[in-house]
Amino acid sequence: MKNSSYRELIFAKWIVPLEGKKSILSDHCLVKKDHKIEQIIPADEAIEIFPDCNRIELKDHALLPGLINCHTHAAMTLFRGIADDIPLKPWLEEHIWPLEGQFVSADFVKLGTNLAIAEMIQSGTTCFNDMYFFPDIVAQTAESLGIRAAVGMIMLDFPTVWASGPDEYLSKGLKLADELKYSTLISPTFAPHAPYTVSDEPLKRIRVLADELDLPIHMHIHETQHETEQSIDQYGMRPLERLSKLGLLSPRLIAVHMVHLLSEEIQSLAELGVNLLHCPEANLKLGSGISPIKQCLEAGINIALGTDGVASNNDLNMLGELRTAALLAKGASSDAETVTAWQALEMATINAAKALNIDNVCGSLEPGKSADMIAVDLSALHCQPVYNPVSQIVYSASRSQVTHSWVEGKLLMKDRQLTHIDTDQLLEQVSQISQNIASN
Ligand SMILES: [Zn+2]
């Protein structure tokens, strides 16, 4: 049987594999076989070896691994711009939680996640790590639209529209994890919301189950000064010390925000292999502070990037986020050498894949990995001249220059057109629900 019909050749002006080296391959070809990357070879060699294969020519483009948005709440796109310019505590307690209580349902999550996925694909994201209510609907929506996702089994002490308390959050989450066992696209994580919303007993159960099931734990930690002070009042210790006593600090943990950190905490996070999930724009917008990324990098912590939910960002643009990460770390540390363009790109790709424990599947362009990748057109006037495409991607390009996106080798966007999403219908549905929310 001839195998050539399963192959496709993707020629790009530059290929940036992010395989652990700072390599930029000019005039190369990525050979895609079925849903995987078979090899990356010089363009003339590919033409000679595979003369009859389908070809995609990307003459002005850089081909790179798809971006991974390692912390978001996808369905919150439907709350974009609804409560701006407010600090985290009143933002949550007086605006977001009441709105969620009133409007969040399975249909809301489906539509909001659909809108988020459309925006993410158009901005170069091929995988997102989600934490929200109705994670079963998030999983179904992502799977049906062909995007990769890690879906959080959310846990809170108090009742919400999704569950009545810790027992039900856990049983519903575990049922979902079981249903996802055979999915190649969607993987589960434990997602206790934050130290201030989840008490010790559920956290102990999550730690044991995460070890048993070999799953990551995704949690907001040390987002604000108020959070650490409240923990000292309530538990007599900072949240990280409490989580350490509960045995949660390990390479399984994806610790989101980590804005307020002491030097000894940074050292201990590095020694224990905790992953730090940096959301610079949400931290800036909520006035939460600036995470000490330079010190964390120097300590050797694996750092990935996320946008957080749209209600606190207000977009899902990972290209923008990695630029903010690079600029903010330099400004905050008065050190232009911290968070280089390469480091920012690694945070949005391979580092995130490591945090999610899927770096054997995606996060870089290497033979045997899933063909999860994007093409960025660098022909625009504001990207000229191109001495170094990585510099252009991080510091000059905008998300509208992402032209193609593949997940598991399937095109989710071709020449800016989404292949699986009817945008007119989506916009109509979003318009209807936003009128209901606005008239509240
Ligand atoms: Zn968040």
Q: Round to whole Å and give the CA distance between 390 and 399.
A: 14
Q: What is the CB-side half-sphere exposure of residue 415 using CA atoms within 13 A?
A: 3
CA 224 – ligand 1 centroid, Å = 12
Which pLDDT score, from 0 to 100, does residue 440 have? Answer: 75
Q: pLDDT per residue over 73-114, tens digit each?
A: 999 999 999 999 999 899 999 999 999 999 999 999 999 999
The domains located in the chain, with CATH, are 4-65+369-408 (2.30.40.10), 67-355 (3.20.20.140)
Cα gap 436→413, rounded to integer Å? 31
Distance between Cα 339 and ligand 1 center (Å): 22
In this prediction, residue 213 carries a pLDDT of 97
Total length of the chain? 440
Q: How confident is the model at residue 2 (pLDDT cuts 50, 70, 90)?
A: very low
Contact at 8 Å (CB) between 166 and 107?
A: no
Distance 261 CA to ligand 1 centre (A): 18
Q: Answer yes or no: are the C-beta atoms of 96 and 311 closer than 8 Å.
A: yes
pLDDT of residue 95: 93
Q: How far, in Å, from the CA of 178 to the mean position of ligand 1?
A: 25
Ligand 1 mean position, distance from CA 220 (Å):
6
Residue 251 Cα, ligand 1 centroid: separation in angstroms? 20
Count CB atoms within 10 A of the CB of residue 164: 10
Interval between CA 311 and ligand 1 midpoint (Å): 10
Q: What is the pLDDT of residues 4-43, one digit of tens each?
A: 458 999 999 999 999 999 999 999 999 999 999 999 999 9
Residue 299's Cβ-count burial label (10 Å; 0-12, 13-18, 19+) is: middle
| Distance from Cα 124 to the centre of ligand 1, integer Å | 20
What global pTM score does this model have? 0.97
Give the pLDDT confidence score for residue 5 in this predicted structure: 57
- Average pLDDT of the residues of the chain: 97
CA 237 / ligand 1 centre spacing (Å) = 23
Q: What is the pLDDT of residue 6?
A: 86
| CA 154 vs CA 91, 128, 142: distances in Å | 20, 15, 17
Beta strands in 16-115 (DSSP E): 25-33, 36-42, 54-65, 67-72
Separation CA 348–CA 335 (nearest Å):
21
Tens digit of each residue's pLDDT (9 = 90 or more) over 259-271: 999 999 999 999 9
> Residue 259: which of 239, 236, 233 has the closest Cα?
239
Residue 52 Cα to ligand 1 midpoint, Å, equals 48
Residue 414 is inside which H or E element, if any?
strand 410-414
Label residue 281 by pLDDT band (50, 70, 90).
Answer: very high
Q: What is the pLDDT of residues 402-417, one digit of tens each?
A: 999 999 999 999 999 9
Q: Per-residue pLDDT tens for 347-372?
A: 999 999 999 999 999 999 999 999 99
Average pLDDT over residues 306-334: 97
Contact 307, 315 (CB under 8 A): yes
> With the CA atoms of 299, 305, 310 and 311 taken in that order, what torsion angle do they form, in degrees rounded to the nearest 10?
0
Res. 3: pLDDT tops 50? no
Percent of the chain with pLDDT over 90: 98
